[in-house]
């Protein structure tokens, strides 16, 4: 089977890496891909938003299945376009992915189907929004309705901050996305990312993950696309997972079907778990998270191609008893460019040569090279990387690498991932040193 993956991040590298292990997959194409993906796939320089060209590519290369796990092309209707052309594609339709691209739709939907979430009010006029914010006790959560490159949410600690966020939305800082503004109750608790795969009728849950969204240690600094992740998350036990499935995932899938928007693809539930162990929805996304995919997919002991294919056949029922997963933990540290997420340079050389030096391994015994350990337990996923005109590996984005380790325990995975990070040379490399700490119990 020929498969096309749309996108170019660490998430897409993880998807291609997992598909590459499938006995069904003969060739992977990726548009546009990156330097790491290019080692296992044919990268084609087409933008993920150029839906027409992507469909032409799928026809020309006889692609059997296209996998999309990016918000923008989904919101533009890539799935609808491919289906019109009778091309098989994995992902929700434009209408179904509204759960991600309209926070207002998602909130109203949750209200209709009694899915637990923060209370909220929605405004399309600045004065009313400002007046409502004044009536709330901080922290106040302000959200632009639409897709805003992950920058549309402000958790305001003061009324002043809330006002600025409201003005930003109505002044057009997030373009069309900020024409409607949601003001939400602040939820306390621990965040967790739960991914369900659904064919519109049945759903199976993947291993729970936790994402580190802030730039700096102890969750300080600006919000980013995600600076690291680990899985599984110890406090998400079977009982809590059962509750999440019963109160959130099943009502969402059946609710979408009952409203004529059958949900096929990945449903990403960003949840807040309060101290009583009650889950509430922070947000829905209609795709895998990044970096979460980089820890969830290495622990998945199923053929990703078979799963995605089953979804497109409406035949996921055979997996609903549960997905097999590897024992142990996975941890991913994102190495970003200096200055990310605000300003950063591209084209900085990345050097992996020190990975060849011998080190004492975590579990002791004979010295081995990191490269040999890497082969067994570590995976360096590429995000913003490219080759320069001399063929050298260089940075090409804010998030550059997702350094991932899989091991029997979370601590081992953490030690190994950080050893790998230390030995990757790249000027200005920036990463958090506390990824996984929240999971150590």
Is residue 398 a contact residue for ligand GLY (CB under 6 A)? no
Is residue 155 a contact residue for ligand AMP (CB under 6 A)? yes
Binds 292: which of ligand GLY, ligand AMP, none (CB < 5-8 Å by kind) = ligand GLY
Q: On the CB side of 185, how many CA atoms lie within 13 Å of its CA?
A: 12
Q: How far is the C-alpha of 294 from the C-alpha of 366, rounded, in Å?
A: 29
Question: In angstroms, what is the minimal distance from the CB of 229 to ligand GLY?
Answer: 7
Q: Of the two residues 226 and 384, which places its CB atom closer to ligand GLY in the complex?
A: 226
Q: Which DSSP string do the residues of 231-263 spell out, in sequence order?
A: ES-TT--HHHHHHHIIIIIHHHHHHHHHTT---
| Among 22, 97, 198, 285, contact with ligand GLY (rule: CB under 6 A) | 285
**CA-closest candidate to residue 205, choices 233, 178, 179, 228:** 233
Residues 157-196 that bind ligand AMP (CB under 6 A): 184-187, 191
C-alpha pair distances (Å), 181 with each of 85, 138, 141, 392: 36, 17, 10, 45
Binds 141: which of ligand AMP, ligand GLY, none (CB < 5-8 Å by kind) = ligand AMP
For residues 401 and 350, the answer to whether their CB atoms sit within 8 Å is yes
Binds 283: which of ligand AMP, ligand GLY, none (CB < 5-8 Å by kind) = ligand AMP
Instruction: Specify the stretch interacting with ligand GLY by CB under 6 A; choose among 28-36, 135-143, 198-206, 289-297.
Output: 289-297
Question: In angstroms, what is the minimal distance from the CB of 280 to ligand AMP?
Answer: 8
Q: Of the two residues 167 and 214, which places its CB atom closer to ligand GLY in the complex?
A: 214
Is residue 290 a contact residue for ligand GLY (CB under 6 A)? yes
What tokens were used for 66?
């296209």
Q: How far is the C-alpha of 365 from the C-alpha of 367, rounded, in Å?
A: 7
Strands (DSSP E) found in 311-366: 329-336, 358-359
Residues 126-145 that bind ligand GLY (CB under 6 A): none
Q: Of the two residues 13 and 213, which places its CB atom closer to ligand AMP in the complex?
A: 213
Q: Of the two residues 36 and 226, which places its CB atom closer to ligand GLY in the complex?
A: 226
What tokens were used for 41?
């796939």
Is residue 153 a contact residue for ligand AMP (CB under 6 A)? yes
Question: In angstroms, what is the minimal distance from the CB of 148 to ligand AMP?
Answer: 9
Is residue 138 a contact residue for ligand AMP (CB under 6 A)? no
The DSSP bridge pattern shows strands 65-68 and 2-7 to be: parallel
The DSSP bridge pattern shows strands 385-387 and 203-205 to be: unpaired
**CA-closest candidate to residue 394, choices 427, 370, 421, 422:** 427
| Among 13, 213, 377, 429, contact with ligand AMP (rule: CB under 6 A) | 213
Q: Which residues pair with 194 in a beta bridge?
A: 269
Binding site for ligand GLY (CB under 6 A): 211, 226, 285, 289-290, 292
């Amino acid at each position: 089977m020929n498969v096309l993956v749309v996108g170019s991040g660490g998430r897409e590298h993880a998807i291609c890496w997992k598909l590459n292990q499938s006995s069904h997959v003969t060739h992977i194409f990726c548009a546009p891909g990156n330097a790491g993906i290019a080692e296992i796939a044919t990268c084609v320089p087409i933008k993920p938003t150029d839906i027409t060209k992507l469909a032409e590519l799928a026809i020309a290369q006889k692609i059997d299945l296209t996998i999309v796990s990016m918000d923008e092309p989904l919101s533009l209707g890539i799935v609808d376009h491919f289906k019109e052309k009778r091309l098989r594609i994995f992902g929700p339709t434009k209408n179904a992915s509204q759960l991600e691209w309209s926070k207002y739709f998602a909130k109203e939907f949750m209200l209709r189907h009694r899915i637990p979430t923060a209370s909220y009010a929605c405004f399309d006029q600045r004065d009313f929004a400002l007046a409502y914010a004044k009536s709330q006790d901080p922290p106040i959560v302000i959200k632009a309705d639409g897709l805003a490159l992950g920058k549309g949410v402000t958790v305001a600690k003061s009324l002043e901050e809330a006002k600025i966020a409201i003005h930003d939305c109505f002044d057009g800082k997030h373009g069309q996305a900020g024409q409607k503004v949601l003001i939400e109750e602040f939820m306390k608790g621990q965040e967790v990312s739960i991914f369900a795969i659904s064919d519109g009728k049945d759903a199976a849950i993947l291993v729970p993950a936790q994402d580190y969204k802030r730039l700096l240690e102890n969750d300080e600094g600006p919000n980013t696309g995600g600076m690291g992740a680990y899985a599984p998350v110890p406090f998400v036990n079977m009982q809590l997972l059962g509750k999440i499935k019963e109160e959130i995932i099943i009502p969402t899938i059946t609710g979408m079907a009952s409203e004529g928007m059958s949900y096929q693809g990945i449903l990403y539930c960003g949840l807040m778990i309060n101290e009583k162990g009650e889950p509430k929805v922070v947000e829905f996304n209609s795709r895998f998270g990044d970096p979460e995919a980089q820890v969830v997919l290495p622990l998945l002991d199923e053929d990703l191609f078979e799963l995605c294919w089953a979804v497109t056949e409406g035949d996921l029922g055979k997996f609903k008893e549960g997905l097999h997963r590897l024992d142990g933990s996975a941890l991913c540290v994102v190495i970003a460019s200096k200055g990310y997420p605000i300003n950063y340079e591209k084209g900085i050389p990345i050097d992996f040569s020190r990975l060849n030096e011998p080190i004492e391994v975590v579990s002791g015994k004979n010295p081995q090279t990191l490269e040999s350990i890497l082969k067994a337990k570590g995976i360096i996923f590429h995000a913003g990387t490219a080759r320069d005109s001399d063929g050298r590996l260089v940075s090409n984005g804010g998030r550059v690498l997702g350094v991932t380790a899989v091991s029997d325990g979370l601590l081992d995975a953490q030690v190994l991932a950080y050893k790998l990070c230390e030995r990757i040379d790249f000027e200005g490399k920036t990463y958090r040193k506390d990824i996984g700490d929240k999971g150590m119990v």
